Chain A
Amino acid sequence: MWRRRTGGARRSPEAAAAEPAPPVQPAEPPALTIDALGRKCPIPIIMLAERINQVAMGGVVAVLADDPAAFTDVPAWCRLKSHEHVGSYELPQGGWSIHVRRNY
């Protein structure tokens, strides 16, 4: 809906889609993929919180989600829980693969 966006804390999904595409492929393959496609928030976050300890320290979990709320909420969860949001990559079928690194 909104073409240009300057400054500020973050970008909306539309703005992210309208601007130069982020790297399509993540640099590091995830150690675990959680399929939360079709699930509404907070379910994707709950699945992430339940399973992040299944990867080794420093490992990456990918959350596949298509609820627009997840695009904002997974990075916000990372900030609150002191894990690292590595990046969010668009999926060809819609939604994102949102990568999170386990920090502790």
Chain B
Amino acid sequence: MAYLDAASTEPLHPAARDALLAAIDAGWADPARLYGTARRAQMLLERARAEVAELIGARPDEVSFTASGTQAVHLGVLGTLAGRRRTGTRLVAGAVEHSSVLHAGALHERDGGELEIVGVSRTGRVDADAFAEAVARPGTALACLQTANHEVGTLQPVEEAARACREAGVPLLVDAAQSVGRLPVPEGWSVLTASAHKWGGPAGVGVLALRKGVRWRSPLPEDERERRRVPGFENVPAIVAAAAALRARAEEAEAEGRRLSALVDKIRTEVPRRVPDVEVVGDAVLRLPHIVTFSCLYVEGEALLTELDKAGFAVSSGSSCTASTLRPSHVLEAMGVLTHGNVRVSLPRGASEDDVDRFLAVLPDIVRRIRSSLGVH
């Protein structure tokens, strides 16, 4: 089985595995207590915090660990809105943000707040001028922009957005889930969120970083953990493993990113050459190193994933028939590109050129067979 779905979750990094096994023995106690084993757990937790902080460009006291990337986004969005309630109730977000951002925004709307969605180009890049205009409107409490899109890989204009937010005095939440451990973290964020299992750490660890001075109030009942920002007992072994994975990824990122990016270029070039009526979507240059997405006309996404699975390839799709909902991906919809017959290939660390070549070899016949079963020749 060739695993080509790193954007869903990256396999556990070997460094994380080693750290996890060691920390399960050394870091199981309650880090909030005062006896020896507890102090050791606390030391491991704080060392992991300092390491993650350094790697994302934050101070240790700005970093909290959450139960997931989704929880980090929920707390980041709702907590900042709560902290800035007196300034206004307007929330600005890009149209192709992760569903955790849009769902937090929908909850904010149900509570009487306003959500303004800023559209994207055909390649999925947020319109920086429209974003700046939206942020500058009076009453804006928070703006949200991802570093890069999780479905099509397109990089977002975070630096321009950060400049506009600074000028307007509006905090910017940057959702860096897809890029941390792969690309440097951009500057200018007020709130940063990330997810360890996307960079090769274990599941169950998210990162919420709040820049000193950003007004924030927990939208949840009070709890003393993580500087009162995140409720519940920290998963210290998983956090230690997450930090180890991030350290290892940061060291490999440049060389591995270059290698994977060349493989993505190969897929971007070869798929339309080998398969008729295909649209490769997302920005060809301003993109993550490891994600490529294309849509095949006249093909049902679910059939395509099933056939690719049978052929030994794990990939994912934004087509509606593959999701639990009947709606197609809001990302593809916002871009105005084909939503059916969609395949996202996302290369994990170590993905081989041989896997990519075999994928390119089996794809044309699979697409042809599905089309012919629907009467398209």
Contact = CB atoms under 8 A, between A and B. Distances in A.
Interface of A: 1-13, 15, 40-43, 45-46, 49, 67-69, 72-73, 75-77, 79-80
A80 B121 contact: no
Given A3-B116, A11-B119, A69-B328, 18 more contacts: A2-B102, A2-B106, A5-B119, A7-B131, A8-B121, A10-B333, A12-B334, A40-B300, A41-B300, A41-B328, A41-B340, A46-B298, A46-B374, A69-B327, A72-B338, A75-B336, A76-B279, A76-B336
Nearest to A8: B119
A88 to B, nearest CB: 12
Interface in B314-341: 319-321, 326-328, 330, 332-341
Query: Which among B116, B117, B335 has the highest number of chain A CB atoms within 10 Å?
Result: B117
Query: Which among B106, B131, B332, B340 has the highest number of chain A CB atoms within 10 Å?
Result: B340
Contacts of A45: 297-298, 340
B115 A3 contact: yes
Given A69-B328, A80-B279, A8 B134 contact: no
A80 B117 contact: no
Interface stretch (B122-130, B196-204, B250-258): B122-130
B119 A10 contact: yes
Nearest to A71: B333
B77 interface: no
7 contacts: A12-B95, A40-B300, A40-B321, A41-B320, A42-B297, A45-B297, A68-B320
A77 to B, nearest CB: 7
